[in-house]
Amino acid sequence: MSQSLCIAIAQLDFLVGDVAGNTAKVIEAAHRARDQYQAQAIVFPELTLTGYPPEDLLLRPGLIRAVERALDELQAQVSGIDLVIGFPERTPAGLCNAAAVLRDGRRIATYHKRFLPNYSVFDEKRYFVAGTRPCVVEIAGVRVGLTICEDIWYSAPAMDSREAGAQLIINLNASPFHRAKLHQREAELQERVTETGLPVVYVNLVGGQDELVFDGASMVMAADGQLALRAPAFKEGIYPLRFDVNAAGVVAPRAGELAEAGEPLENIYKALVLGVRDYIEKNRFPGAIIGLSGGIDSALTLAITVDAIGAERVEAVMMPSRYTLGMSVEDASEQARTMGVEYQVLPIETPFKAFLEVLAEPLAGTQPDTTEENIQARCRCILLMALSNKFHRVVITTGNKSEMSVGYATLYGDMAGGFGALKDVPKTLVFELARYRNRLSPVIPQRVIERPPSAELAPDQKDSDSLPPYEVLDPILERYIEQDQCADEIIAAGYDADVVHRVVGLVNRNEYKRRQAPPGVRITQRAFGRDRRYPITSGYDREQ
């Protein structure tokens, strides 16, 4: 006799630490899945009740007590549908990353994550002890094996679930985005279904949390390796799917929604928009301020921020100096007008001259150099931060990863602000994203994209005066920073030795600057901040 099971995937955006708010969101979603979709079970992401990653909030006993109260509330408030939900659980052995099945006022099963990631942006061994056993629970007559995130990247948890009688695997995730992640996930799921012969329900978190962006893109993969469902990336929603169970107990998903995977530039741009939006919204800033220079970085940053929170909440400020070209003022004004943001021009010549006058005696007998250039950047910082203080809008910085890598940025100048939209975006990718955004609607003046990049802090200045061409610089940086190649390996790949040694030296010398930079959206496999953690003071030969 055949039967069927309807599971709802809750791809939702939860706020770290807001246990009460997250619980209310779970209750609303469960009622909707039960009443609107007639689902028999709803599956939520990893650590739903605390949000992910809660970091050292997990060390506060009050958070765990709040989670325990939330579980009681869920059991009291939700009936008629099974909840599969992630949370931290206090056990005699220590804190566990747990998933439970709640049914009509009772907890009928609990699973503890077995593989705890402790690499890249993950620190789970700092907080959790690993589980040791599979957990198979019956939901509407189907035996379901529970797993959590990293477990699905290894064979044992899914295989152990199958051996314990599972007919279906459910995997709760908080898997952050980077530009190659979607294909990696699908490849891993295909390995698991091939090994086990069982379909997998993969539920992922969506939303921005500080540097991290969770893209959702939840999916259901049938036992033959074909996708039965793919939820849209970067979008909240509840996605139901029905499974048929034949007389032999074989579970097969029906065809469901198959959202487009999205081209790489589209996914990166959406990740940047979501990361900026959630940082502003979750930290309750009323709006954002951007120093709009007429250059490519600030132009793209303005477009991302407007797409994130709307033009009515964004202010652009042009702060020309004696070295700012007329075309920069024109292009900034044109973009601000096109995007409909509040815009004003605040020249920095008066404060710049005042600083030079104050410093005239201490700097007497010296020649102008980067000191005077950086004073201009710091004048701009004072203006932006004054507006931020007065109107409580967050300053979105405009520096890119290439600049941050080699220190081509001014400490307490253009680096100062609350959040960096492009912090993990290499310069060559900045240009690609600008062109992509203009394909959606032309908001960035074409001249901004075509003209040579310049900080405009000295006469006729161009980035290429101080740095290798970005087409050369970015591949070297990717090899050194993201792939951990040493200088000799990069040189062996065909890059000029002098250029490589110079670039590597710049990266190493500027760790102290990066340590003082604001957080920013992570879109690569190795971002500065949570990801790449090098000492500032070190005697190690980092060209090795």
What is the set of active-site residues? 46, 113, 149
Buried b (16+ CB within 10 A) or exposed e, 116-133: beeeebbbbeebbbebee
Q: Tally the residues of the chain.
A: 544
Q: Which residues of 507-534 are buried (b: 16+ CB within 10 A; e: fewer)?
A: bbebbebbeebbbbbbbbbbbbbbbbee
CB atoms under 10 Å from CB of 15, counted, come to 16
* Amino acid residing at 365: G
Query: Distances from the Cα of 186 to the Cαs of 152, 179, 190, 202, 206, in angstroms?
Result: 11, 14, 6, 10, 17
Task: Give residue 66's identity as a one-letter amino acid code.
Answer: A
CA distance to 203, 324, 451, per residue, from 338 (Å): 39, 21, 20
Query: 344: Cβ–Cβ under 8 A, 6 or more apart, which residues?
Result: 315, 316, 317, 318
Six token digits for residue 20: 């009460």
Contact 97, 86 (CB under 8 A): yes
Phi/psi for 346 (5° steps) reads: -125, 95
Q: Strands 227-230 and 237-245, how do they pair?
A: unpaired
E-strand stretches of 321-459: 342-345, 394-397, 419-420
**Amino acid found at 326:** G
Region at 357 (left for phi over 0; alpha for psi -120 to 50; beta for the rest): alpha
Nearest to 177 by CA among 496, 498, 524, 455: 524
Q: Is the peptide bond before 469 cis (omega within 30 degrees of 0)?
A: no
Tokens of 444: 């960035």
Strands (DSSP E) contained in 353-434 are: 394-397, 419-420
For 59-107, the three-class secondary structure string (H helix, E strand, C coil) is HCHHHHHHHHHHHHHHHHHCCCCEEEEEEEEEECCEEEEEEEEEECCEE
Q: What is the DSSP string of 227-265?
A: EEEEPPBT--EEEEEEEEE-TT--EEEPP--B-----HH
DSSP-derived pairing of the beta strands 212-215 and 219-221: unpaired
Cβ atoms within 10 Å of 283's Cβ, excluding its own: 11
